[in-house]
Structure 1
Amino acid sequence: MRTTFRLLLISFVLILPATVLAMQRHDADAIIGTWINASGKGHIQIYKQGNKYYGKLVWLKEPNDEKGAPKMDIKNPDAAQRNKPLLGSIILRDFVFDDDEWNGGRIYDPQNGKDYKCFLRLKDLKTLSVRGYIGVSLLGRTETWTRIN
């Protein structure tokens, strides 16, 4: 009886961490949906195209400038892109799912016109950690986005 109990206890101790780890893993398509950014001023729709993930700016709190015209991507380093509306811009691109995170992609910040390396991690199904950085991930900033749908 004591040996059986010990064997069950050891089995439980060995299986529990693997079970918890398996429960925390996410499906590659788990980030697909619409997210509100940390400032609350934009909604980003993440979608899959081929085997990569992209994010499009689908809503802005203030989509128009003071004259009532759509805000343009005026800080884009590519002059040909400066006359395009911010709404509809692809701000996340080329992410691939790898070991419970989406990496290898880039994030574009229309507020300063800069492009950064980036990776994405789900904290849970409603919370997305977005880390943009230059060079190594230590030199960057993390934002938390919240799922809308």
Structure 2
Amino acid sequence: MLGSNKIIWTACLVGAILLISKLNSYGQARPPAELICGKWENKDKTLRIQIYTVKGNFLAKIIWFSDTEGKPMSYWKDKRNPDPALRNRTILGMSILQGLRYDAEENSWEDGKVYDSKHGKTWNASAKIDQKGILKVRGYWHFKFIGKSMYFHRIN
């Protein structure tokens, strides 16, 4: 009897968390396109991004990253950027994802660009949230099978 109560309470808690994650700050259900909006942390817990929308385009910026050298995040610059005029901008707060558009038929975000500051490269990008709530961002070169994926979980 006690074990079945735990299962019921766990199921209720998980359901409530899923419902809350789909609500906006006013308690209204988010449109499916906006489910990507919010704060996300990568699988390795070394990067946090915030995804937001401006006029139907989804963008992301870096809000935190792990520094193994012990320097403040404001120290790190975009030194590998191919544009010399941008090499002095800080990594923290930098826009790294832009132009994603929601595809309702595929329930994914497509046709964007993702910037990799480690290598100074910009790639095509797509994103999808799986059944477990994991965000998969795929950076690729012309074809999705030629690329790399990063996985994120939602954070508060």
Q: TM-score, normalised by structure 2?
A: 0.73
**Alpha-carbon deviations, 1:44-71, whole Å to 9, x = none?**
0000001110000011122977588610
**Which of 110, 115, 125 does residue 108 from structure 1 map onto?**
115
**Alpha-carbon deviations, 1:43-98, whole Å to 9, x = none?**
00000001110000011122977588610011111111110100010001010001
Change in Cα spacing, 1:64 to 1:51, as seen in structure 2 (3 Å) is farther
**In 1, Cα distance between the equivalents of 2:59 and 2:88?**
22
Gaps of 5+ in 2: 1-30
Q: What aligned pairs does 1:78-97 form with structure 2 within 5 A after superposition? A: 78-97=83-102
1:146 aligns with 2:116: no
| Equivalent residue, structure 1, for 2:126 | 119
SS in 1 for 2:35: helix
* Count of aligned positions: 124
Larger-gyration structure (1/2): 1
**Which of 26, 29, 46 does residue 34 from structure 2 map onto?**
29
CA RMSD of aligned residues (A): 2.1
Change in Cα spacing, 1:48 to 1:63, as seen in structure 2 (3 Å) is farther
Letter in 2 for 1:104: D
Gaps of 5+ in 1: 1-25
**In 1, Cα distance between the equivalents of 2:68 and 2:58?**
24
**In 2, Cα distance between the equivalents of 1:67 and 1:29?**
32
